[in-house]
Structure 1
Amino acid sequence: MKLIETKVMRGPNYWSVDQGSLIVLKIQLDDIAESEVNTVMQKAILEIPALSSKHHIQDHVQKGLPLLIKHLAVELQCMAEMPCTYARSRAGSNKGEHFIIVEYTIEEAGVHAAKTALHITEALLKGEPVDIKSHISELNEIRHSRKLGATSADILDAVKERKIPFRRFDNGSLIILGYGNKQQKIRTAVTDSTSGLGIELAGDKEETKKMLAEANVPVPKGILVYSEAGLRERIIEVKFPVVIKPLDGNHGRGVTTNIMDVEKAVFGFTIAKKISKAVILEEYIEGNDYRFLVINFKLIAVAKRTPAFVKGDGKSTIQQLVDEENKNPERGSEEKHVLAIIKIDEVTKKILSEKNLSADSIPASGEIIVLKDTANISAGGTAEDVTETVHPENIFMAERVAKMFNLNICGIDVMAKAVDIPITREVGAVIEVNAGPGLRMHSNPQGGKIRDVASPIVEMMFPTPQHARIPIVAVTGTNGKTTTTRMIAHLAKHAGHTPGFCTTEGIYVDGHMTFEGDCTGYLSAHDVLFDPVVDFAVLECARGGILKSGLGFDHCDISVVTNITEDHLGLKDINTLEDMAKVKSVVARSTTKNGYSILNADNDLSYKIMDDLECNVALFSMKSENERIKEHVKNGGLAATVESGYVIVHKGKTKIQIELIDNIPVTFKGKASYMIKNILPAVLTGIISGFTVDEIQKGLKTFYPSPHLTPGRMNLFDFTRFKVMIDYAHNMDGFFELKRFLDEVEDSPKVGLIAVAGDRRDEDIRHVGLLAATMFDKIIIKHDKDLRGRTAENISELLLEGISQINKAVPTMIISEEKEAIEYALDNAEKGSFILICAGIVSETVDQVSQLYKINSLITQIH
Structure 2
Amino acid sequence: MAGSSKQNTDRAIDIRQLRVLRGPNYYAYEPCIHMVVDIGALEELPTDQLPGFTEQLLAALPGLADHQCSRGRDGGFVERLNEGTWAGHVTEHVALELQRTAGHEITRGKTRSTGETGVYNVIFAYLDETVGTLAGKLAVRLVNHLIQPTADPEFDFEAEHEAFLLTSQRVAFGPSTQAILEEAISRDIPWQRLNSASLVQLGHGVHAKRIRATMTSVTSSLAVDIASDKELTNRLLLAAGLPVPQSEVVRSVDGAVAAAGRIGYPVVVKPLDGNHGRGVAINLADADAVRAAYPEADRQSRRGNVIVESFITGRDYRCLVIGGNIVAIAERVPAHVIGDGTHTVEQLVELTNADPRRGVGHEKVLTRIEIDERAIELVAAQGFSMDSVPPAGEMVKLALTGNMSTGGISIDRTFEAHPDNIDIAEEAARVVGLDIAGIDFLCPDITQPVRETGGGICEVNAAPGFRMHTHPTVGEPQYVAKPVVDLLFPPGSSSRIPIIAVTGTNGKTTTSRMIAHIFKSLGRKVGMTSTDGVVIDDRLVIRADASGPRSARMVLQNPRVDLAVFEVARGGILREGLGYSRNDVAVVLNVAPDHLGLRGIDTIEQLAKVKQVVVEAVPRSGAAVLNADDELVASMRRACSGEVVWFSIQPNNRRIADHCRRGGKAVILEPSELGDLIVLVHGRRRMPLAYTHLLPATFNGKAMFNVQNTMAAAAAAYVVGAPLHDIRAGLRSFTPSYYQAPGRMNLTEVNGTKVIVDYCHNAPGMAALGDFVDKFFDEGTGFERPQKVGVIATAGDRRDDDMRDLGREAAKHFDVMIVREDANLRGRKPGETADLIVEGAQSAGADGRVKELEVVLNEIDATRAAVRRANPGDLVVLCVDRARDVWDELQTIGQVAQAGASSEDSES
Tell me the TM-score normalized by structure 2: 0.90
2:530 match: 503
1:577 aligns with 2:597: no
* Residue ranges of structure 1 left out of the alignment (5+ in a row): none
1:207 match: 232
The alignment partner of 2:188 has SS state of: coil
2:244 match: 219
1:842 match: 883
Q: Is the 8 A contact 1:528 1:534 kept in 2?
A: yes
Residue deviations 1:93-116, cap 9 Å, x none?
A: 233332111222332332333233
Q: Is the 8 A contact 1:383 1:447 kept in 2?
A: yes
Q: Is the 8 A contact 1:150 1:440 kept in 2?
A: yes
Q: Is the 8 A contact 1:256 1:347 kept in 2?
A: no
Of residues 70-79 and 672-681 in structure 1, the stretch that sits farther from structure 2 once superposed is 70-79
Q: For the structure 1 residues 694 and 145, does the alpha-carbon distance in structure 2 shift closer, same or farther, using more than 3 Å as the test?
A: same
Letter in 1 for 2:720: S
What is the aligned counterpart of 2:446 among 416, 419, 430? 419
1:239 aligns with 2:264: yes
Shift of 1:136: 1.8
Residues 472-621 of structure 1 correspond to what in structure 2 (within 5 A)?
472-621=499-648
Tell me the TM-score normalized by structure 1: 0.95
Q: For the structure 1 residues 348 and 762, does the alpha-carbon distance in structure 2 shift closer, same or farther, using more than 3 Å as the test?
A: closer
Q: For the structure 1 residues 263 and 275, does the alpha-carbon distance in structure 2 shift closer, same or farther, using more than 3 Å as the test?
A: same
Shift of 1:674: 0.7
Of residues 86-95 and 428-437 in structure 1, the stretch that sits farther from structure 2 once superposed is 86-95
1:54 aligns with 2:67: yes
Q: For the structure 1 residues 861 and 320, does the alpha-carbon distance in structure 2 shift closer, same or farther, using more than 3 Å as the test?
A: farther
What is the aligned counterpart of 1:79 among 77, 97, 101? 101
Shift of 1:702: 2.1
Q: Distance in 2 between matches of 1:788 and 1:316?
A: 71
Q: For the structure 1 residues 706 and 241, does the alpha-carbon distance in structure 2 shift closer, same or farther, using more than 3 Å as the test?
A: same
Residue deviations 1:751-788, cap 9 Å, x none?
A: 01101223323332222112111111111111122333
Letter in 1 for 2:881: G
Q: For the structure 1 residues 122 and 235, does the alpha-carbon distance in structure 2 shift closer, same or farther, using more than 3 Å as the test?
A: closer
Letter in 2 for 1:29: G
Residue deviations 1:256-282, cap 9 Å, x none?
A: 222333322333344433344443333
Shift of 1:12: 0.4
1:664 match: 695
1:283 match: 310
The alignment partner of 2:755 has SS state of: strand
The alignment partner of 2:795 has SS state of: coil
1:646 aligns with 2:673: no
Residues 242-261 of structure 1 correspond to what in structure 2 (within 5 A)?
242-261=267-286
1:748 aligns with 2:805: no
The alignment partner of 1:507 has SS state of: strand
Q: For the structure 1 residues 417 and 797, does the alpha-carbon distance in structure 2 shift closer, same or farther, using more than 3 Å as the test?
A: same
Q: For the structure 1 residues 331 and 516, does the alpha-carbon distance in structure 2 shift closer, same or farther, using more than 3 Å as the test?
A: same
Q: For the structure 1 residues 373 and 662, does the alpha-carbon distance in structure 2 shift closer, same or farther, using more than 3 Å as the test?
A: same
Q: Distance in 2 between matches of 1:249 and 1:94?
A: 60
Of residues 522-531 and 248-257 in structure 1, the stretch that sits farther from structure 2 once superposed is 248-257
Q: For the structure 1 residues 48 and 386, does the alpha-carbon distance in structure 2 shift closer, same or farther, using more than 3 Å as the test?
A: closer
Q: Distance in 2 between matches of 1:201 and 1:47?
A: 52
Q: Is the 8 A contact 1:9 1:24 kept in 2?
A: no
Q: For the structure 1 residues 116 and 279, does the alpha-carbon distance in structure 2 shift closer, same or farther, using more than 3 Å as the test?
A: closer
Shift of 1:43: 5.2
Q: For the structure 1 residues 24 and 160, does the alpha-carbon distance in structure 2 shift closer, same or farther, using more than 3 Å as the test?
A: farther
1:322 aligns with 2:349: yes
1:824 aligns with 2:856: no
Shift of 1:796: 3.1
Q: Is the 8 A contact 1:499 1:537 kept in 2?
A: yes
Q: For the structure 1 residues 208 and 93, does the alpha-carbon distance in structure 2 shift closer, same or farther, using more than 3 Å as the test?
A: same
What is the aligned counterpart of 1:20 among 25, 31, 54? 31
Shift of 1:571: 2.4
Shift of 1:15: 1.0
1:397 aligns with 2:432: no
Residues 118-197 of structure 1 correspond to what in structure 2 (within 5 A)?
118-126=140-148, 128=150, 131-197=156-222
Q: Distance in 2 between matches of 1:221 and 1:42?
A: 67
Q: Distance in 2 between matches of 1:7 and 1:610?
A: 29
Residue deviations 1:571-601, cap 9 Å, x none?
A: 2222222211111111011011111110011
Q: Distance in 2 between matches of 1:45 and 1:274?
A: 50
Letter in 1 for 2:812: T
Residue deviations 1:106-143, cap 9 Å, x none?
A: 32332333233334444444464774323422321331
Letter in 2 for 1:549: E
1:760 match: 798
Of residues 89-98 and 220-229 in structure 1, the stretch that sits farther from structure 2 once superposed is 220-229
The alignment partner of 1:743 has SS state of: helix
Shift of 1:833: 1.7
1:787 match: 825
1:802 aligns with 2:877: no
Q: Is the 8 A contact 1:203 1:249 kept in 2?
A: yes
Residue deviations 1:144-180, cap 9 Å, x none?
A: 2312222222222323333322222221121122111
Of residues 702-711 and 851-860 in structure 1, the stretch that sits farther from structure 2 once superposed is 851-860
1:106 match: 128
Letter in 1 for 2:872: K
Q: Is the 8 A contact 2:47 2:86 kept in 1?
A: no
Q: Distance in 1 between matches of 2:295 and 2:350?
A: 27
Letter in 2 for 1:460: L
Shift of 1:372: 2.4
Q: For the structure 1 residues 132 and 84, does the alpha-carbon distance in structure 2 shift closer, same or farther, using more than 3 Å as the test?
A: farther
Paired residues, number: 862
The alignment partner of 1:520 has SS state of: coil
Q: Distance in 1 between matches of 2:139 and 2:238?
A: 64
Shift of 1:253: 2.4
Q: Distance in 1 between matches of 2:592 and 2:305?
A: 74
Q: Is the 8 A contact 1:84 1:104 kept in 2?
A: yes
Q: Distance in 1 between matches of 2:691 and 2:180?
A: 53
1:777 aligns with 2:841: no
1:814 aligns with 2:891: no
Q: Distance in 2 between matches of 1:54 and 1:658?
A: 57
Of residues 331-340 and 592-601 in structure 1, the stretch that sits farther from structure 2 once superposed is 331-340
Q: Is the 8 A contact 2:444 2:454 kept in 1?
A: yes
Residue deviations 1:407-458, cap 9 Å, x none?
A: 1101111111222222315432111111111111111111111111122212
Shift of 1:820: 1.2
The alignment partner of 1:602 has SS state of: coil
Q: For the structure 1 residues 239 and 119, does the alpha-carbon distance in structure 2 shift closer, same or farther, using more than 3 Å as the test?
A: closer
Q: Distance in 2 between matches of 1:857 and 1:152?
A: 66
Q: For the structure 1 residues 845 and 517, does the alpha-carbon distance in structure 2 shift closer, same or farther, using more than 3 Å as the test?
A: same
Q: For the structure 1 residues 160 and 835, does the alpha-carbon distance in structure 2 shift closer, same or farther, using more than 3 Å as the test?
A: same
The alignment partner of 1:445 has SS state of: coil
Shift of 1:361: 4.0
The alignment partner of 2:497 has SS state of: coil
Q: Distance in 2 between matches of 1:508 and 1:292?
A: 46
Shift of 1:231: 4.0
Letter in 1 for 2:836: L
Q: For the structure 1 residues 857 and 349, does the alpha-carbon distance in structure 2 shift closer, same or farther, using more than 3 Å as the test?
A: farther
Q: Distance in 2 between matches of 1:423 and 1:698?
A: 69
Q: For the structure 1 residues 109 and 861, does the alpha-carbon distance in structure 2 shift closer, same or farther, using more than 3 Å as the test?
A: farther
Q: For the structure 1 residues 750 and 165, does the alpha-carbon distance in structure 2 shift closer, same or farther, using more than 3 Å as the test?
A: same
1:66 aligns with 2:66: no
Shift of 1:28: 5.3
Of residues 359-368 and 250-259 in structure 1, the stretch that sits farther from structure 2 once superposed is 359-368
Q: Is the 8 A contact 1:148 1:335 kept in 2?
A: no
Q: Is the 8 A contact 1:151 1:439 kept in 2?
A: yes
Q: For the structure 1 residues 235 and 93, does the alpha-carbon distance in structure 2 shift closer, same or farther, using more than 3 Å as the test?
A: closer
Residues 36-47 of structure 1 correspond to what in structure 2 (within 5 A)?
37=49, 39=51, 40-41=53-54, 44-45=57-58, 47=60
Shift of 1:827: 3.2
The alignment partner of 2:473 has SS state of: coil
Percent identity (aligned): 35
Of residues 575-584 and 252-261 in structure 1, the stretch that sits farther from structure 2 once superposed is 252-261
